[in-house]
Amino acid sequence: MTEPAIKYRLIKKEKHTGARLGEIITPHGTFPTPMFMPVGTLATVKTMAPEELKDMGAGIILSNTYHLWLRPGEDIVEEAGGLHRFMNWDQGILTDSGGFQVWSLSDMRRIEEEGVHFRNHLNGSKMFLSPEKAIQIQNKLGPDIMMSFDECPPFYESHDYVKKSIDRTSRWAERGLKAHANADRQGLFGIIQGAGYKDLRQQSARDLVAMDFPGYSIGGLSVGETKHEMNTILEYTTPLIPEHKPRYLMGVGTADSLIDGVIRGVDMFDCVLPTRIARNGTCMTSKGRLVVKNAQYARDFRPLDEKCDCYTCRNYTRAYIRHLIKCDETFGMRLTSYHNLYFLLNVMKQVRQAIMDDNLLEFREAFFEEYGFNEE
Ligand code: GUN
Ligand code: ZN
């Protein structure tokens, strides 16, 4: 038996919720959980230098198999010495498998037992991605954590379709495990699917847990269902995952959803949201979203968030950032991206402290009160 590449250490369970404080030990360092992972789709977290991400406490970032397969190609990344050296990032990296990206970005998808045929979003040429190919690409890219190739069915798809889909996703997970060549230095996670059907989520979890992955993702969420539906699914899904394995909720990145996910036992999150909305001037703050382009900020010389002590908020005003964003200046996008990532990482830091202090529900109440969040 070789040592697993990825280990989860449970430090403490919160007294009144399902939240857990822990850490994940990777070949590129250890990061505390719960954690939010910034997304660097094309081997860059858009506008951010690795040193800046490190300064704000990002111990792991996410990248994408699909995008790097198309450009520059996994062989070039491998030749560079792997993704870490290619992009000068010496902390953790997780890659998504391409399953979700093929569904959300490409045209003319056709799904078969063998894999997915599609036309890529760059030049429309025909491509094919299989569970084995997704693993081979990730073995060459060299992230610390890899994802199994899965299908993310639409949330309101029929029970009959979703049942067939999770059966196939389980077979794909098994095929991926067999194809995985670097289990000593890369941990492969299984992805639990099942849309909004409890019996199917249970079956998907049971299938994958039997395969003994070093960690489990919860997929198929934040795809148009209500917050209440997501919370309900998390409530019954996280207890199906062994306690000594990390739980990763894919594609979720609003502060309120992070807090509600942690309360239900989630350890890791990722989302393009903070960096994507930053580039058009939408800022995440302790008082909710601030659209800095709005005319009301033209002469507002306060920081984006008066409670924030990030580089952006310590040095620049809403008026200046508004001017930059309105003029499409890249420095404006850098400042808002830095702030939004710092804000979410800081929320997670406070959440970890609240778990330590057993007062996460009080923290949630105070946070939501100021954030102006109304339950949906
Ligand atoms: N990112 C967000 N949701 C998903 C999902 O269901 N599967 C995969 N592979 N990636 C995701
Ligand atoms: Zn800030």
Q: Which residues contact 187 (CB under 8 A, 6 or more apart)?
A: 4, 5, 6, 26, 144, 145, 146, 213, 214, 215
Cα–Cα distance for residue pair 316/309, rounded to 1 Å: 11
> Which-ligand-closest: CA of 191?
1
Looking at the CA of residue 97, tell me the nearest atom of ligand 1.
9
Give the rounded percent of residues in the chain with a pLDDT score beyond 90: 95
Cα–Cα distance for residue pair 83/138, rounded to 1 Å: 10
Size of the chain, expressed as the number of residues it contains: 376
pLDDT one-digit tens code per residue, 163-209: 999 999 999 999 999 999 999 999 999 999 999 999 999 999 999 99
- 332, amino acid identity: G
Using CA positions, which residue lies closest to atom 6 of ligand 1?
219
Residue 12 zone, left/alpha/beta (φ > 0; ψ -120 to 50; rest): beta
Q: Is the CB of 165 under 6 A from ligand 1?
A: no
- 146, amino acid identity: M
Contact 43, 71 (CB under 8 A): no
Measure 309 CA to ligand 2 centroid, in angstroms: 6
Q: Is the CB of 220 under 6 A from ligand 1?
A: yes
- pLDDT for res 374: 57
User: What is the full DSSP assignment across 303-337?
Assistant: -S-TT--SHHHHH--HHHHHHHHHTT-HHHHHHHH
Q: Is the CB of 102 under 6 A from ligand 1?
A: no
Select the more confidently predicted residue: 73 or 376: 73
- pLDDT for res 376: 43
Cis peptide upstream of residue 72 (ω within 30 degrees of 0) = yes
Q: Which of 138, 169, 217, 273 to mutate to test the pocket of ligand 1 (most atoms within 8 A of CB)?
A: 217
- pLDDT for res 265: 98
| DSSP label of 296 | G
Mean pLDDT of the chain: 97
Instruction: Summarize the confidence of residues 300-313 as an average pLDDT.
Output: 98
Measure 214 CA to ligand 1 centroid, in angstroms: 18
Decide if pLDDT at 149 tops 50. Answer: yes
Decide if pLDDT at 373 tops 90. Answer: no
- pLDDT for res 106: 76
- pLDDT for res 375: 54
> Which residues form the catalytic set?
96, 270
> Which-ligand-closest: CA of 271?
1
| DSSP label of 39 | B
pLDDT one-digit tens code per residue, 230-277: 999 999 999 999 999 999 999 999 999 999 999 999 999 999 999 999
> Which-ligand-closest: CA of 338?
2
pLDDT one-digit tens code per residue, 320-372: 999 999 999 999 999 999 999 999 999 999 999 999 999 999 999 999 999 99
Q: Which of 146, 152, 221 to mutate to test the pocket of ligand 1 (most atoms within 8 A of CB)?
A: 152
Measure 289 CA to ligand 2 centroid, in angstroms: 13
Residue 46 zone, left/alpha/beta (φ > 0; ψ -120 to 50; rest): beta
Long-range contacts of 9-16 (CB under 8 A, 24+ apart): 10/243, 10/244, 12/355, 12/356, 14/354, 14/355, 14/358, 14/360, 15/358, 16/358, 16/360, 16/361
Q: Which of 69, 129, 150 to mutate to test the pocket of ligand 1 (most atoms within 8 A of CB)?
A: 150
Tell me the ipTM for this assembly: 0.99
* Least confident among 106-110, 148-152, 253-257: 106-110
Contact 281, 292 (CB under 8 A): yes
Cis peptide upstream of residue 246 (ω within 30 degrees of 0) = no
| pTM for the model | 0.98
